[in-house]
Amino acid sequence: MIEIILYKRVAGNVGFCVSGHAGFEETGKDIVCASVSVLAINTVNAIKSFTDDRFSLQYDEDGKIDMMMKATLSPTSQVLLDTFELGMTSIYEEYGHDYINIKIEEV
C-alpha cells in the first residue's frame, strides 16, 4: 500500500511524504505506483524549477519521497502543492482503499 502524508499548516499545504508500493499490478506494470511517483517527482521538480522557494528533500532507493517547505511559500508553490493533493485524491478515489492511504499531518 502507498502511504501519503500531506503536511499542512493553517495557511495550506507545506509538503508531503510518499512511501510504499501499491501492489495493484506486478512491478513495471503498476499504474497506481507510476501515477503517484510521477505526481510526486513532478511537484518537486516544478517547485525547484519555477520558484526560488527553499525546501528539504529526502528520498531513498525504495521509493520514499519526503518533501517539506522551509519558509513561507510563494503562490506558485502553494498552487503546485494543492495540485499534488488534488492528483493524489483523484488517484485514491479511482483505485480505493486497497492501494493508497492518505493522511493529513498538521506541522
- What pLDDT, on the 0 to 100 scale, is given for residue 88? 97
The structural domains of the chain, with segments of one domain joined by +, span 2-106
Tell which residue, 22, 67, 2, has the closest CA to residue 40. Answer: 67
d(CA 9, CA 15) in angstroms, rounded, equals 10
How much of the chain exceeds pLDDT 90, in percent?
Answer: 86
| CATH code 3.30.70.1490 for 2-106 | yes
* Predicted confidence (pLDDT) per residue in 42-99, tens digit: 999 999 999 999 999 999 988 899 999 998 899 999 999 999 999 999 999 999 789 9
* Predicted confidence (pLDDT) per residue in 11-39, tens digit: 889 999 999 999 999 888 999 999 999 99
